[in-house]
Amino acid sequence: MTANDICLEDVHITFPCPPSGRPAIASAEPGEAVYDAGNQQVHWHIPSMDSNDGSSGNLEFIAAADIASLTPYQFEAVRRDKTKCPMDILECYHQERKDAIPYALIKSSRYTFVIGA
């Protein structure tokens, strides 16, 4: 990560890998990685990541598979309390009666990248 003001949460990076590939996780930093046999994928989860944690990570796993069977891989993350388009909701009201309506505003951005599709 190169942006100083961004914190991504609940980061998931997944690589498809059939059980016949006998995947074995050697290391994952930061976070944890496991082989999810039910979904046939190597799953790397990083709870939180920002520029203070360093700008890179490393996942090392071994699989008896070629590169074509390990793609496409996917990156997903959430940025809470921020959106790409800065906006606020100032009030909510009933369209006919004009009565105020209580509401909660929850902002977030979800990032999904598919690589090798």
Each residue of 18-48: pLDDT tens digit?
889 999 999 999 999 999 999 999 999 999 9
Contact present, 58 and 29 (Cβ < 8 Å): yes
Whole-model pTM: value is: 0.80
Strand bridging mode 32-36 / 41-50: antiparallel
Degrees, nearest 5: CA angle 30-67-29: 5
Please name each of the domains of the chain with its CATH number: 7-115 (2.60.40)
Q: Which of the four pLDDT bands, split at 50, 70 and 90, describes residue 115?
A: very high
